[in-house]
Structure 1
C-alpha cells in the first residue's frame, strides 16, 4: 500500500526548518500541494522573516512539487484566516493541517514570568486552536480532514524547566480528544505527534552521538501516517530515531467506598486498591468516567442495574 496525497492541500505551520520543513517536503513528495507557513522567528519567538519559508518552497518546487510560502503568526487569528483563505483561493480546499509551530521560553516555574508563560501558550495551544478553527468548517463541508497537533513528552510526563511548554502541549491533547468526537461524522480525524528529534530546540540537551540518530526524517513518517486516509483518530504517536509508540491516558478500575469510609482517611486506607493498575481502561469520552463511578456505587450499594 502506497500512501499518497494527490489532489490534496496541506498546511504545515512552523515549516521553515526542523521538523516542519521535513513534514512539508515529504507531504509534497507524495503529491500534496503545501502551504509552508513560518513566521521566521528565533526559537524564543522573537523576530520574523520569510526567507526560511521561501527556501522550503523553492526546494519543493525544484523537486517538481507545488507550494506557497506564508508568514502568518499562528497566535493571531486574523492572520491565520487569511492564510487559509489564500490556500482555498489558489487550490480550492484544505485537506491536511499539521500544527507544528512552536517556541521555547524555558525557565523553572519560580523564575519564569507570566508574560513568557502566556506567550508559549499563545503559540503552541492557541496557535493550534486558531489554525484548526480556521480549517474546521472547510473540512466539515468537504466531509474530509486530517489534523495533526504536536504534543510533547514534556506535556505528557513533565520536564523540569518547561511548565509553560508542558502546559501548552497537554492542552492540545484535550483539544484532540474532543475534536475527534465532533469531527467523526464529517470524516475528520485528529491525532497528536509526540516527537523526539534533534532540532534548534534540542541543541545542547543531548550528546552528539544521540543527536545524530534523532533526525526529523525519522519522525515525519508518523505525521504522514496520521495525515493519510486510513489514519486512526484520537491517537498520540511518539516518534524518534526511527522508533514509534502509542501513548495513552488510562484510568484505574477504581473502588467504591461505603459512606462511612468516604473520607480522606478511607481513601488512604484503600489507596493500593484505588491505584491498582490491574483492570486499567482507556476511556473514549468523559462520560464514561461518570458511568463507571455510578456503576461502582450501585454495585456497592446492592442496587440492581438494568
Structure 2
C-alpha cells in the first residue's frame, strides 16, 4: 500500500485550533502538508476571540519540523474567509485543499430555541464554510486541482434532540458539498464530507455532568480524534479521486453515507391523489433497489 503523501500541498483547516480541527492539522502536517491553522479562538458558543489556540497549534507543528501558519480571522464573515485564503497564497503561493471544520454548539428544546442562536449556528458552520470555500474554489479552478472536505454530522443527517440549529447547519453542509462537487468536477476539484464523532469540548459540553461519570468517561475515551483525522487526510489528498462521498468515522469504523430515493410507485395515468399515496405507501417506502442519484438530473432521468 502506497503511503498517502501531502508533501508540497497546502491545506487550510478552519476551526483548527482545538479538538478535531487540531487533530486534522497535525495529521496533515505529519504527512507533509503546509497547514494554515484558521481559528479565531472563540468559545463554543461563538463568543470571544483568542489567537492563542491557532498560534499554539501552528507553533507545535513548526517545532516538530513541519510547516504551518496561524490565521485568526473570523471565518463566519466574508472578510475573514478571504483573509485566510490570501494568507495561504502569501505564505505558500498556493492552496490545494480546504477542510471546512469551524463551528460552535448550543442546545435547547426546540420550542425554546432563540432565533439569534439558530442564526449563529448557521453563521458559524454553514456560512463559515461558504466564506472560505467560495474564494478557495476560485483559486483551485485556476490551478485545475483542489480537494474540499466539509465537516458534517450524523446529528444533522439522522437527527439529535435539542440540536436544531446545529443539525440544520451541518446538514446544509451536504447541500453545499453537492453543488461544489458538481461544479468543480471539470476543474479537477473534488468535494467530499465527513461525519465525525470524537471526544471534543463540544461533546463534553453536550454531555454536561454526565461527562464526569465513569460511564461518561468510558464513552468519551472510546471516541478518539486519531480515529478520525486520517480519514480527513485521505479526503484532502490527491489519492482521493472520488467526489460527493460522505464518510462516517468514529471508534475505528469508516462507513459511507448513501442518500437515495426508493423506486417508488408510479401512477399509470400520471395523476396522483392523497388516497393513492395512502394506499401505495408500502411500495413508495420500499427500500429494495434504492436509487442513489449523483444529481437532481439523475433522479429525473430515472423516470424517463
Same fold (TM > 0.5): yes
> Which of 258, 265, 268 is the matching residue for 1:255?
265
Counterpart in 2 of 1:289? 299
Q: Distance in 2 between matches of 1:39 and 1:49?
A: 6
Alignment of 1:58-207 (within 5 A): 58-203=59-204, 205=207, 207=216
Q: Distance in 2 between matches of 1:129 and 1:251?
A: 27
Are positions 1:31 and 2:32 aligned together? yes
Are positions 1:241 and 2:251 aligned together? yes
The count of aligned residue pairs is 294
Counterpart in 2 of 1:227? 236
CA deviation string 1:203-257 (max 9, x = no partner): 1636211211211111101101101112121011000122111111011011112
TM-score calculated relative to the size of structure 1:
0.93
Offset at residue 291 of structure 1 (A): 2.3
Q: Secondary structure at the match of 1:281?
A: coil
Q: Distance in 1 between matches of 2:272 and 2:83?
A: 54
Counterpart in 2 of 1:298? none
Q: Distance in 1 between matches of 2:257 and 2:298?
A: 19
> Which of 191, 200, 219 is the matching residue for 1:210?
219
- 8 A contact 2:4–2:239 mirrored in 1: no
Q: Distance in 1 between matches of 2:74 and 2:183?
A: 26
Unaligned runs of 5+ in 2: none
Offset at residue 261 of structure 1 (A): 6.5
Q: Secondary structure at the match of 1:11?
A: strand
CA deviation string 1:64-102 (max 9, x = no partner): 011111111111111211221111012111001001111
Offset at residue 260 of structure 1 (A): 8.8
Offset at residue 105 of structure 1 (A): 1.6
Counterpart in 2 of 1:45? 46
